[in-house]
A and B are shown apart, each in its own frame.
Chain A
C-alpha cells in the first residue's frame, strides 16, 4: 500500500458520493458519445459502400437501345437503377453486337463488355424473388466479376454460372434453370439490389437458353444470335468519361442507340447517401449544443453543493489551481466514463444488429463495416468531443470554485 495519498482517491471518492447524480451525468456524456460515434460509424459505413461500390461499378457508361432509356425512366426505377451500371435492367430491347465494332474505335475506352438479358423466372428453390438471367462475356466482363466473393481460379466455362448472393447453392454445386443443369462457378457479394437474385452465364449458354425459352413459351421475345441488351463501357484513366460518351453517341442516331453516363446510374445512390451525413451531423450538433448548458448547470450545482468541502481543502493548504484541477478532473473522469460507456454500448448494439445485414435493410444501401483502425479513430473522436464538452462546461464552475474565499466557503457564504 502506498504511503502517500493521491488526488485520484479524492476524485473517485467524490464521484462515488452521489451515485444517482453522477450516473445521470455519465448517462448524458454516454448519450453524446453514442450519438457522435454512431453518426460517424453509419456515415463511414455508407461512404465505404459508395467507395467500394464505385470501385466495383467499373462502367462509366452504358450503350443501350434508345427504347431502353424510355423504359427505365418510365418505370421510375429507384435505387436499384444504380445496378444498371453493373448489369442492364431486365428489358427485351436489344441491338446487334455489331455496334461494338464502332464503339471499339472510339478513343479513350479502356474496357467494354456486352450483356444480354435473357429471361426472368420464378424459381422458388433458388430464390424467393424472381430470378433474372443474363448472358455476359467472361473474357471482357469488368462489372460482374469484381463482385465475386472469391474470384474463381479459371474463367467462366460452358454450363457454368455466376450467381447473386440470394441464389441458393454454394460454389461447385449444381442448379437447374429451365431444365438446364449449370455448375455454380462463383457467388457475388451482397449488393442489396436485384443483382442478388440474378444468374450470369456465358453468352453462348445465354443464346442456347434463349432458344430453349423461345421453344417453351410462344410469348417469349426471340433472341437472335449476336443480340445484346447493352454494352458497358469504361473510359481510360486519362479520358474524360463524358467526352467518351459523346464520342460513342456520335455515329449513332439517338433514336437508335443511347449512351447513358455514369451519373445517371450513380445519381440515385449519391442522393440517397448525401442527405445522411448532413442529417446525422445536424443531430450530433444539436445534441452537443443542447448538452453544453445542461452539463454546465450540473457542474455548477456540484461545485455549489461542495463549497464547504472546497473551503476546507483550501484551509488545509490547497492552492487555487489545485481546486480548479480537482473540479475539472472530476468532470473529465465522468466524461471519460460516459464516453467509453456510450461508445461501448454502440459497438455492442451494432454487433448485435449484425451491421452487415440489419443496417443494410434499414439504410437501404450496402453498409460496409468500417475497419478496426477507422473505428478506433471514430471512438477517439467521440471520446475527445465528450471530454471537450466536459472541460468546457466545467470551466466556469471550476474557476468560480477556485476563486472562492475559503473562509466564506467554509461558512457556506461562498459565491
Chain B
C-alpha cells in the first residue's frame, strides 16, 4: 500500500537547516492500523504531510499504491489525495461557512466522478453519530461533533488510506474513546489508517506502533492488548 524508502525532509539551509524527518523507512500493508507516537517537534506531522502528498520529501521515495509521488505533478498528487487519501487534522479543519453536511460533501467537488453524494454523506454522518447535526454550522458543534464530521468528510470519497494527525488531541476521555472506537470500526471495514497520537493508551489499538524522535522512526514492541480487538497485520490484510 505505502512504501517509504529513506525519506528525508529538511527545512532551511546551511547552519539553520532543520532535519525534520531523517532517513525514514516504512512499509504499510492494506488494512493496517499504524500509530506513530513522539514528542512535539519530532517530525510526526511532517511525515504524515509527506505521506499525504502535502509536502515533498527532500530525499528518498514514497510510493502509494505503486505510484512514486515524487514523480507526480501537483495536479496528479491532488487527484491522488482526492481519490485515495482521507485526512483528519489535529484541529477540526471544518470550513466554518458551510453546514456539517456540506463540509462532508466538499471533497466530492474535487472528485466529481467519485462515489460521494448527499445520500452517502448523510450515511457517513449517521455512521459517526452526528446525523442529527447535519444542518448545523461548525460554530455550533462541540469538539467531539466537529471531529466526527471531519472523519465523515475524510471518508466521503471512500479512500483506501485514512491519515489522522492527533485526531483525539483536544478531546475528553469519553469522546476520545468514542472516536477511537470509530477508527477501529473503520479499520475493521478495511480502511488503512496511519495515526499520530501522544496518547500511549491508544497503542493497543494499532497493528503496529512507531515512535518518532529527532526525525527518526523506530518501531515499538507490539502491545499485548487492545481490549478484545488485537489483530495481526495478516488478519487485517485479509479484510481488504
Binding site for B on A (CB under 8 A): 1-7, 9-10, 13-14, 16-17, 309, 312-322, 405-407, 410
Indicate if the CB atoms of A9 and B78 lie closer than 8 Å. no
Verify if B123 is at the interface (C-beta below 8 Å from A): no
For residue B95, which residues in chain A have a CB less than 8 angstroms away from its CB?
10, 13, 309, 312-313
Kindly supply a per-residue 1/0 record for chain B positions 73-85, scoring 1 wherever the CB is within 8 Å of any chain A CB and 0 otherwise: 0110011011100
Indicate if the CB atoms of A315 and B87 lie closer than 8 Å. yes
Indicate if the CB atoms of B118 and A3 lie closer than 8 Å. yes
Q: What is the size, in residues, of chain B's interface with A at 8 Å between Cβ atoms? A: 32
A317/B78 contact (C-beta < 8 A), A5-B105, A7-B109 known:
yes
Q: Which residue of A lies closest to B78 (CB)?
A: A319
A-B contact pairs, 22 of them (CB 8 A): A4-B112, A4-B118, A5-B106, A5-B118, A9-B102, A17-B97, A309-B95, A313-B95, A314-B54, A314-B78, A315-B52, A315-B87, A315-B89, A315-B93, A316-B82, A316-B87, A317-B78, A317-B82, A318-B82, A319-B74, A407-B49, A410-B93
Indicate if the CB atoms of B118 and A317 lie closer than 8 Å. no
- Given A16-B97, A315-B54, 17 new contacts (CB under 8 A): A3-B117, A4-B108, A5-B102, A5-B108, A7-B109, A10-B97, A17-B96, A312-B93, A313-B95, A315-B89, A317-B81, A317-B110, A318-B78, A318-B109, A406-B54, A407-B49, A410-B89
Report Cα–Cα, A107/B3, bound state, in Å: 100
Verify if B182 is at the interface (C-beta below 8 Å from A): no
Indicate if the CB atoms of B97 and A316 lie closer than 8 Å. no
For residue B28, which residues in chain A have a CB less than 8 angstroms away from its CB?
none
Most B C-beta atoms less than 10 A away, residue of A6, A313, A315: A315
For residue A405, which residues in chain B have a CB less than 8 angstroms away from its CB?
54-55
Verify if B202 is at the interface (C-beta below 8 Å from A): no
Verify if B111 is at the interface (C-beta below 8 Å from A): yes
Indicate if the CB atoms of A317 and B55 lie closer than 8 Å. no
For residue A313, which residues in chain B have a CB less than 8 angstroms away from its CB?
95, 106, 110
For residue A7, which residues in chain B have a CB less than 8 angstroms away from its CB?
109
Task: Give chain A's interface secondary structure class.
Answer: helix
Verify if B107 is at the interface (C-beta below 8 Å from A): yes
Kindly supply a per-residue 1/0 record for chain B positions 99-121, scoring 1 wherever the CB is within 8 Å of any chain A CB and 0 otherwise: 00010011111111000011100
For residue A9, which residues in chain B have a CB less than 8 angstroms away from its CB?
98, 102
For residue B93, which residues in chain A have a CB less than 8 angstroms away from its CB?
312, 315, 410
Report Cα–Cα, A321/B74, bound state, in Å: 10
Most A C-beta atoms less than 10 A away, residue of B54, B97, B119, B153: B97
Report Cα–Cα, A358/B205, bound state, in Å: 81
Q: Which residue of B lies closest to A6 (CB)?
A: B109
Report Cα–Cα, A316/B77, bound state, in Å: 11
Report Cα–Cα, A25/B95, bound state, in Å: 22
Report Cα–Cα, A9/B103, bound state, in Å: 11
Report Cα–Cα, A286/B105, bound state, in Å: 44
Q: Which residue of B lies closest to A5 (CB)?
A: B105
A319/B75 contact (C-beta < 8 A), A4-B108, A5-B108 known:
yes
Indicate if the CB atoms of B118 and A1 lie closer than 8 Å. yes
Task: Give the contacting residue for B110; candidates A1, A2, A3, A316; CB below 8 A.
Answer: A316
Report Cα–Cα, A14/B95, bound state, in Å: 9
Report Cα–Cα, A319/B87, bound state, in Å: 16
For residue B98, which residues in chain A have a CB less than 8 angstroms away from its CB?
9-10, 13
Report Cα–Cα, A15/B122, bound state, in Å: 25
Tell me the chain B residues, 38-61 only, with Cβ under 8 Å from chain A. Answer: 49, 52, 54-55
Indicate if the CB atoms of A318 and B110 lie closer than 8 Å. yes
B17 nearest CB across to chain A (Å):
17
Report Cα–Cα, A261/B211, bound state, in Å: 100
Q: Which residue of B lies closest to A311 (CB)?
A: B54
Report Cα–Cα, A309/B49, bound state, in Å: 16
B65 nearest CB across to chain A (Å):
15
A305 nearest CB across to chain B (Å):
12
For residue B118, which residues in chain A have a CB less than 8 angstroms away from its CB?
1-5
Report Cα–Cα, A3/B74, bound state, in Å: 29
For residue A13, which residues in chain B have a CB less than 8 angstroms away from its CB?
95, 97-98, 102
A316/B117 contact (C-beta < 8 A), A9-B98, A13-B102, A410-B89 known:
no
7 pairs of A and B residues whose beta carbons are closest in the complex = A317-B82, A317-B110, A5-B105, A13-B97, A3-B117, A407-B54, A17-B97
